[in-house]
Amino acid sequence: MDFKNVLVLTDFSKDSEDALQDAVKFAEKFGSHLTILHVVQDESSLSFVLSNKEYRSLEDRLDLHAKQMFVALEEKVPGLKALNFTTKTRKGIPYINCLYEIESGDYDLVFAGSRGRSDMKHIFVGSTAEKIMRRSPISVFMTRSHL
């Protein structure tokens, strides 16, 4: 099987950064194109308590933060700059939008970190990566944190 298009999921946590490092090594070996996806949590429920101006400002700040974090990844992850890669941002519920991207893209493999930003989130809603792994129509490579 050819692994020409690889999707890497990131929430900009240390674990997703480790997954990206593994994906970079993989892409170097197999000549893969990487797409790095970040899903911005849907904050539309805040539109009821914020003015339109405040809500738009929040959206703009979240978009800017994601762009800044993608740039930071280029500095943090050795070898990324030398690769053929693109970045994507979606808005909504992370695991659902990751699955939408997987289904709509022409991906051969997905890389995901085993734990995201917070252990507390895992206790209450389960792991986003686990939900994706269970429902993905393609193989998911789950990475462990580099100690």
At 78-108, the pLDDT tens digits run: 999 999 899 999 999 999 999 999 999 999 9
Owning domain of residue 83:
5-143
CATH of the domain at 102: 3.40.50.620
Report the number of distinct structural domains present in the chain. 1
Low-confidence ranges of the chain (pLDDT < 70): 44-45, 47, 115-126, 146-147
- Dihedral angle sign, alpha carbons of residues 118, 110, 84, 106: negative
